[in-house]
Amino acid sequence: MKNWNDTKSIRKDFPILERKIDGKPLIYFDNAATSQKPVQVINALTNYYENYNSNIHRGLHTMSEEATLAYEGTREKIARFIDAPSEREVIFTRNATEAINIVVESWGKHNIGAGDEIVITSMEHHSNFVPWQKLCEDKGARLVYIEIGADGNLDYAMAERLITNKTKIVAVTQMSNVMGTVVDLKILGKLARLNGAKFLVDGAQGVPHLPTSVREIDCDFLVFSMHKMLGPTGVGVLWGKEELLDLMPPMLYGGDMISSVTREKTTVNELPWKFEAGTPNIADVIASGAAIDYLQNLGMQNVRAHELELTRYAMDAMLKLPSMKIYGPQNPELKGGVISFNYEGIHPHDMGQILNESGIAIRAGHHCCQPLMKTLGVMGTARASFYIYNTIEEIDFFVDALIKAEKVLNYVACR
């Protein structure tokens, strides 16, 4: 088992961290966009292609059976990871965005009507914003927003006022990808249940970083993406309560989602396969199982503890810089390992580019959260985000680079 407190040992599992950018060691602080992959995940991917590359479910030969066992084994691992009652409730998708769209298409279009309300927050990623907005336009429903307070936390008093018997679903992020704000899902879930509404959690940012139990949250749907939690790209997860998924029609039709087909009628398959039409992303799902194993070995409580240490240290150092503005909660205990910031008078894109010259990878822009940017009164922010392989030493280098960047960019601006 990997020692979660031995970051040097953990870093050895990530070959890409040996890379240099313009001759400088890579400091990867763009984990909210996607995480890096350990050798265990890379090896699982290549092992599939080198040793048992085959289609699943349909074949009777040895390699097909091996691939099926490995693919379905990942489903079982994910069910345990999120404390799901059954692996039948775990649906593989391409990403969290597709998972939300399945809920919109297969549940929303059959349960949302004119005059109904859908409650989201003002800090949602476009993936948990645009599909609901479009559904409201099509159905004559109303999209209702829970705002954030001046401290960057959700206004739970407003949530209590807005979630009513008109609410059909509450769909919220587990953790803001911009401000790192951690949402109290138990409060919102209780409000949804009291008003007879369904409850969807966008866990794209939360599940990779926080211990997550769908039983404790008591949500109806949870979505997340494996590429943000050490796994490959192209694999998302939709978890839903079995009684809801049973009633929802498939979004896609074709191979493997069927039970039987005649000229007159098609009978759909049982869960979870009725939502997985066609040949799936077999190799990357199998490799995702290795990512789950890696995080399980570390322990998600330990992942959270490490990121909290990094975030607290980084914020303490950054807030000492005179031109620094950090958005969202100023208390690290109330946020994940995400820090969005701006330097007064410096465009975040310029900041991102000059930090790249020091080998530091951050994100700059609106982070697919344009409504939130409007709320914050900015066009965009620079964003540093941390994960299990980041270190205090990297943060020291990052803060020094921020100081140098400010001097350089202010000098250029004054010429």
* Strand 324-327 relative to strand 266-268, pairing: unpaired
* Strand 117-121 relative to strand 167-173, pairing: parallel
* 414 is a catalytic site residue: no
145 by Cβ neighbours in 10 Å (0-12 / 13-18 / 19+) ranks as middle
Take residue 391 and report the two structure tokens written for it.
């270190």
Which of the residues 219, 368, 369, 414 is marked catalytic? Answer: 368
Take residue 211 and report the two structure tokens written for it.
């211990």
- The answer to whether residues 118 and 168 touch, using CB atoms and an 8 Å cutoff, is yes
Q: How far is CA 409 from CA 318, 349, 350, 360, in A?
A: 17, 11, 8, 16
**Gap between the Cα atoms of 358 and 397, Å rounded:** 9
Angle, vertex CA 286, rays to CA 10 and CA 65, nearest 5? 140
Residue 283 CA, distance from chain mean position: 21
Angle, vertex CA 79, rays to CA 47 and CA 387, nearest 5? 70
Q: Give the 3-state secondary structure of residue 176.
A: coil
Residue matched to tokens 């008093």: 157
Residue matched to tokens 């645009």: 130
**Gap between the Cα atoms of 282 and 80, Å rounded:** 20
- In terms of residues, how long is the chain? 415
**Gap between the Cα atoms of 394 and 306, Å rounded:** 14
| Maximum Cα interatomic distance, the chain, rounded to a whole number of Å | 76
Which one, of 356, 353, 388, lies nearest residue 365 by Cα? 353
- The answer to whether residues 154 and 375 touch, using CB atoms and an 8 Å cutoff, is no
Q: Which residues contact 212 (CB under 8 A, 6 or more apart)?
A: 81, 82, 83, 174, 203, 206, 222, 300
The number of helix segments (H) and strand segments (E) in the chain equals 15, 17
Angle, vertex CA 156, rays to CA 160 and CA 89, nearest 5? 80
Q: Write out the catalytic residue numbers.
A: 368
